[in-house]
Amino acid sequence: AGQARVADLEPHTQARTCLKCEEQWPEVANMPPTMTLLKLEPEATLVFCKTPQSSSPSRMLKLTNVSSGNVAFKVKTTAPKAYLVRPSSGTLRPRENQEVQIILQPQGLEGQAAHRFLVQAVQVPSTDIVSKEQWALFGKDAVEDQKLNVIVEERETDAVA
């Protein structure tokens, strides 16, 4: 049944996951956020529930700009072929939020124990799209990072007992 590895799990909050997976990780609680520009929901771990009925489970990662200025964000992964991330970057006005859909591809389970996501955020003067070249110019001290672990739960069914 469960193929997830609990080792090195960071505390997290659950958002839009199947109830069986939520019940599986009750000991994992909230942790203080490491970002001051964005609030992430969930904050530290993305739990995907894979069942025979859904071979490409998806999760929503909600990003909320909690600063008083515009914030550009990027979502990166250690396994870019295993996940479809939409949108993977963007700009948020103060208090604006964006839901990022992360879809685990059917072929994406290989080596999933080491999969991680990195959300980067930086304060920007406008809501204009920030290019790859512009991101490269931001100083390391200006860019905030938050890592997210991945857990893939394999279930026989979506049903809740």
Q: Which pTM value belongs to this model?
A: 0.76
Residue 145 resides in a domain? yes
Residue (of 121, 5, 106, 102) closest to 46 by Cα position:
102
| 68 within 8 A of 106, measured Cβ to Cβ | no
Residue 131 resides in a domain? yes
Residue 111 resides in a domain? yes
Residue 8 resides in a domain? no
pLDDT digit string (tens) for the chain, length 161 residues: 343 433 333 333 333 344 444 444 443 434 445 799 999 999 999 998 888 778 789 999 999 999 999 999 999 999 999 999 999 999 999 999 999 999 998 876 666 678 999 999 999 999 999 999 999 999 999 999 999 999 888 877 655 54
Residue 12 resides in a domain? no
The rounded distance, in Å, linking the Cα atoms of 76 and 119 is 6
The domain containing residue 117 runs over which residues?
Answer: 19-154
Residue (of 79, 99, 97, 101) closest to 37 by Cα position:
97
Residue 159 resides in a domain? no
The rounded distance, in Å, linking the Cα atoms of 62 and 17 is 13
Domain count, the chain: 1
Residue 14 resides in a domain? no
The rounded distance, in Å, linking the Cα atoms of 104 and 24 is 20
Q: Residue 30 maps to which CATH number?
A: 2.60.40.10
Residue 6 resides in a domain? no
